[in-house]
DNA sequence: CATAATATTCACTCACGAGTGAGTTACTAT
DNA sequence: ATAGTAACTCACTCGTGAGTGAATATTATG
């Protein structure tokens, strides 16, 4: 039951945000009295936290492992593209293969990522993986300015979050040619796209160090 | 007074979203009775719409003009980077030079862009400029697959929206080296970064047409 | 100055959301 | 079977948010 509550809360929060969802909305869709949510979770905030935390650990561990593996395999000469593939593809696979629940979680996180309130959650949970990625990127781009790498990551994460948000915007813009839900299309393109961007801003204009 | 109400609503909506803000919150910060908002605006939704619409026309016209100018100047051979500079730099300049109000509007729109509800507003207002950009990008990349261009744009807009959201995340991640508010830093890098990405996914793998 | 229009407040209603504590059902183990 | 605990519902409170219509203040206009 708790799992069902989390599933529905995840879905609704992903669509309307924390304040746009009432405990009654969730309860109704689960088919249960709304005070049951207070039985399982102290309050609304606790429920939200639980939704966030439930899957966070999975994606974090997977990506961390993928980055470690890549780092080890690449030895002294990791590439930007390799690191991004490890980071992005691992995550995207989760959403591709994980079913509706994971897709909803992606949208849930994506919405958090673009608001100041939600960003604190991102900090709290995802900082370690991100810093691990950045560590490898630095190794791949040894002479680059640190700022360039952070801004590059910023671009990457913005693009990823918009993907996970599944807003349907690209569908309309492209008149049905592309689909928000088509994470495979993103996976095919994203790491290469971003790697090229990194190289452009990092390798070209080396900074005043070293 | 109406302008002040819009300013405060813009700020609060940008932080907490539509449902996270009450008319009383807005009224209080303006220093006015909350029912005054019902005098100027039929209801909360109307206020939200007004906030969205107020500055939309400005950024749309500016970018449209910049794209037209670029298209004309570039003649038969526009470049991806040129088009992106016209599109992105024009917008970023607005946020850099427009003061706090414009920054808040950026964050306001950025939050909308990552939620299904808000995305409808983006469609409604911004589609024409975006399609104009895409038109030029197609000219710059004549042999590329259309999907690649749409996905490229998707990455661009994701990165831009996260920038405008000013979540403070990059500040913490980079331990103070980079700043969310530093749109100039983004302007310096973004068009080049993204142009390289476009070239990577569009020029390399040409599609089954032509 | 009077008066009309505009701007603003006030008192109020209605609805609803979060949460509580007692009560009920259902399962579990002896 | 039955005591005991876990799962769940019910009736209710408290607060508050959106919105309305009348009242008052402020400004503009002839």
- Alpha-carbon distance of B43 to B27, in angstroms, equals 13
Q: Nearest CA of chain A to the CA of B82: how many Å?
A: 15
| Chain B residues within an 8 Å CB radius of A196 | 196-197, 199-201
pLDDT at site A154 = 98
pLDDT score for B204: 58
Sort A176 into a burial class: Cβ within 10 Å, 0-12 / 13-18 / 19+: exposed
Q: Quick: pLDDT tens for A33-61.
A: 999 999 999 999 999 999 999 999 999 99
Residue B205: predicted pLDDT: 52
Residue-level pLDDT, tens digit, chain B, 210 residues: 999 999 999 999 999 999 999 999 999 999 999 999 999 999 999 999 999 999 999 999 999 999 999 999 999 999 999 999 999 999 999 999 999 999 999 999 999 999 998 999 999 999 999 999 999 999 999 999 999 999 999 999 999 999 999 999 999 999 999 999 999 999 999 999 999 999 999 975 554 443
Q: A111 and chain B: CB distance < 8 Å anywhere? A: yes
Written in H, E and C, the secondary structure of A8-53 is HHHHHHHHHCCCCCCHHHHHHHHCCCCCHHHHHCCCHHHHHHHHHH
A104 in contact with chain B, both atoms CB, cutoff 8 A: no
For the CA of A152 and the C1' of D3, the distance in angstroms is 64
d(CA B143, CA B149): 11
Which chain B residue has the Cα nearest residue A194?
A: B197
Which of B114, B134, B193 is facing A201, going by the closest CB pair? Answer: B193
Residues in chain A where the model's pLDDT stays below 50: 207-210
Q: What is chain B written as a DSSP string?
A: -HHHHHHHHHHHHHHHTTTT--HHHHHHHHTS-THHHHHHSSSHHHHHHHHHHHHHHHHHHHHHHHHHHHHHHHTT---HHHHHIIIIIHHHHHHHHSHHHHHHHHHHHHHHHTSHHHHHHHHHHHHHHHHHHHHHHHHHSTTS-HHHHHHHHHHHHHHHHHHHH--SHHHHHTTTSS-TT-HHHHHHHHHHHHHHHHHHHHTSS--S--
Overall size of chain A counted in residues? 210
Tokens representing residue B26 in the block = 């807005």
* pLDDT one-digit tens code per residue, B40-51: 999 999 999 999
A29 touches strand C (CB under 7 A): no
Q: Which residues of B touch A168 (CB under 8 A)?
A: 116, 119
pLDDT for the residue A205: 52
Local structure of residue A204 (DSSP, 8 states): S
């Amino acid at each position: 039951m708790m799992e069902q509550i989390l599933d529905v809360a995840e879905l609704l929060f992903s669509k309307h945000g924390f304040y746009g969802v009432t405990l009654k909305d969730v309860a109704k869709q689960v088919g249960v009295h709304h005070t049951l949510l207070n039985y399982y979770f102290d309050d609304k905030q606790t429920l939200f936290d639980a939704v966030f935390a439930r899957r966070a650990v999975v994606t974090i561990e997977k990506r961390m492992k993928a980055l470690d593996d890549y780092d080890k395999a690449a030895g002294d000469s990791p590439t930007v593209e390799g690191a991004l593939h490890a980071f992005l593809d691992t995550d995207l696979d989760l959403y591709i293969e994980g079913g509706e629940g994971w897709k909803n979680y992606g949208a849930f996180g994506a919405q958090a990522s673009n608001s100041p309130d939600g960003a604190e959650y991102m900090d709290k949970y995802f900082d370690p993986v991100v810093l691990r990625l950045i560590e490898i990127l630095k190794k791949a781009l040894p002479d680059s300015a640190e700022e360039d790498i952070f801004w590059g990551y910023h671009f990457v994460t913005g693009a990823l979050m918009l993907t996970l948000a599944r807003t349907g915007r690209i569908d309309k813009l492209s008149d049905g040619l592309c689909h928000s839900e088509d994470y495979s299309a993103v996976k095919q393109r994203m790491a290469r796209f971003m790697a090229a961007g990194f190289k452009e801003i990092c390798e070209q204009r080396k900074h005043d160090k070293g």
